Amino acid sequence: MTPELDKKTGAAPTVVVVIPYYNGSQWLERAVKSVVNQTVKANEFIVVNDGSTPQERAALEPLTAKYGFTVLDKANGGQGSARNAGVAATTSEYISFLDQDDYYFPNHIQDLVGALPADDPRLGFVYADLCEADGDGNIVHSNMLRAQLGQHPKQGHITTMLRNDIFVLPSASLIRRSSFEALGGFDEQFMGYEDDDLFLRMFRSGYTNHFLDKPVTAWCMHTGSTSYSIKMSRSRFRYFKKLAFSFKDEPRRKMFFFHECLVPRFGDVFIREALEASKVGDPNREELCAILKEYSDMVAANPFVPMDYKTSVQRVSYLTTRMKSKNFQRLATLRKLPVIRSIVRRLI
């Protein structure tokens, strides 16, 4: 099946699928099959090998011979870097990303191309709902965006987008190349948060987006995901700092971005990760505690954060840095300290 013709040019929109690949041979064939079995075929299909081991790189050869996609090899630079490289090596008008451990539903490209507006020169992307699946690809939750957000997620105020995960997945989106390239693609310092960062920059730059209320992708969650790694923790804190720098408080307009948006979104995660790492003697404890300490310093420096929260975060940071791991097995005793009771109650 071919996509509908563009009403202005009379040509069918061209689509490239880009899969960033890093030591993921156990999942990749499922992802690749979901691309080649689309009801509307991609014009270009590229897998970007982001510095995988020789054994994992060799696993691409039989898949390439079987399914006929292009492989681009590059040094390891992270998922955002791999995606950017894949886009740079292709020419199609629209970009469809897919993570190596996720998979498309058969009508993914057809549905997203069909959702393209007839005449929108400011278009940045169209995106759709998705299903959550386990590591084996079994669906565990359908219509995740609709269930969690209850409305068109990206129509609203900037504070809503700062206070919450944006939750637009590239694997459930179709991005206009001209918009993507105008913004310089993904910020390669991030892992996991490069998606939020890109779509937030599109929103801020005046590009429009259109939502298709239908799942087109399965998002597979498993413990091998980068969502559970120290790399994600580092990336989260880098993103937090970028947002804190980019969105200064504006008391005259009563816009308190740091306290009202960023602290509620990120603060508990920094606290929880440092506490859990200290409790179990995690090898990344020192780094996670350092993140919490820097977060605590930023909280202390902000004049609009309530003093009781400042004190609570400082106390928890002090304890995680100095308390021995075995003592965190009795973490419940911290409830007796009123100054951090409200935080600890949520974490134990």
Residue 228 or residue 144, greater confidence: 144
Residue 91 or residue 138, greater confidence: 91
Q: At 184, which CATH number?
A: 3.90.550.10
Question: According to the model, what pLDDT value does residue 348 have?
Answer: 39
Q: Looking at 28-37, 50-59, 70-79, 163-172, which range is the least confident one?
A: 163-172
What is the average pLDDT across 214-239?
85
From 220, 240, 258, the end of a domain falls on 220
Residue at 19 is within a domain = yes
CA Rg value for the chain: 22
Tell me, yes or no, whether 23 and 172 share the same domain: yes
- The answer to whether the CB of 46 falls within 8 A of the CB of 86 is yes
The DSSP element (H or E) to which 38 belongs, if any, is none
Q: Two tokens at 319?
A: 């304890």
Q: Looking at 150-154, 207-211, 236-240, which range is the least confident one?
A: 150-154
What is the average pLDDT across 150-168?
76
Q: Looking at 166-180, 181-195, 211-225, 248-262, which range is the least confident one?
A: 211-225
Across the chain, mean pLDDT equals 89
- Interhelix angle for 268-280 vs 230-246, to 10°? 150
Tell me, yes or no, whether 216 and 257 share the same domain: no
Residue at 10 is within a domain = no
Distance CA 39, CA 35 (A): 9
Tell me, yes or no, whether 338 and 282 share the same domain: yes
From 220, 241, 272, the end of a domain falls on 220
Tell me, yes or no, whether 177 and 236 share the same domain: no
User: By C-alpha distance, which of 168, 204, 196 is closest to 80?
Assistant: 196
Q: Looking at 3-17, 38-52, 154-168, 215-229, which range is the least confident one?
A: 3-17
Tell me, yes or no, whether 213 and 253 share the same domain: no
Segment 114-130, tens digit of pLDDT? 999 988 999 999 999 99
Segment 17-65, tens digit of pLDDT? 999 999 999 999 999 999 999 999 999 999 999 999 999 999 999 999 9
From 220, 248, 272, the end of a domain falls on 220
Q: Outline where DSSP puts E strands in the chain.
A: 15-21, 44-50, 70-74, 94-97, 103-104, 123-133, 139-141, 173-176, 208-220
Residue at 63 is within a domain = yes
The pLDDT of residue 328 is above 70: no
Q: Which residues face 16 on adjacent strands?
A: 44, 95
Question: According to the model, what pLDDT value does residue 1 have?
Answer: 46
- C-alpha neighbours within 13 Å on the C-beta side of residue 236: 23
The pLDDT of residue 211 is above 70: yes
The pLDDT of residue 228 is above 90: no
Residue at 6 is within a domain = no
Residue at 125 is within a domain = yes
Residue at 8 is within a domain = no
Residue at 2 is within a domain = no
Tell me, yes or no, whether 202 and 270 share the same domain: no
Tell me, yes or no, whether 200 and 248 share the same domain: no
Could you give the number of structural domains in the chain?
Answer: 2
The pLDDT of residue 280 is above 90: no
Tell me, yes or no, whether 56 and 96 share the same domain: yes
Query: Secondary structure of the chain: what % helix, strand, coil (to 5)?
Result: 50, 15, 35
Distance CA 170, CA 172 (A): 5
Neighbours of 180 (CB within 10 A): 21
Q: How confident is the model at residue 346 (pLDDT cuts 50, 70, 90)?
A: very low
What is the average pLDDT across 66-80?
96
What is the average pLDDT across 7-15?
74
Residue at 169 is within a domain = yes
- The answer to whether the CB of 256 falls within 8 A of the CB of 303 is no
Tell me, yes or no, whether 206 and 282 share the same domain: no
Distance CA 180, CA 125 (A): 9
Distances (CA, A) of 102 to 110, 136, 186: 18, 10, 19
Q: Which of 10-19, 81-90, 203-212, 322-331 has the highest mean pLDDT?
A: 81-90
Question: According to the model, what pLDDT value does residue 43 have?
Answer: 98
Question: According to the model, what pLDDT value does residue 321 have?
Answer: 83
Tell me, yes or no, whether 36 and 170 share the same domain: yes
Tell me, yes or no, whether 276 and 207 share the same domain: no
The share of the chain scoring above pLDDT 90, in percent, equals: 71
The pLDDT of residue 236 is above 70: yes
- Domain residue limits at 31: 15-220
Tell me, yes or no, whether 96 and 208 share the same domain: yes
Q: Which residues face 264 on adjacent strands?
A: none
Q: Two tokens at 274?
A: 């440092």
In the numeric block, the tokens 């890109």 are attached to 198
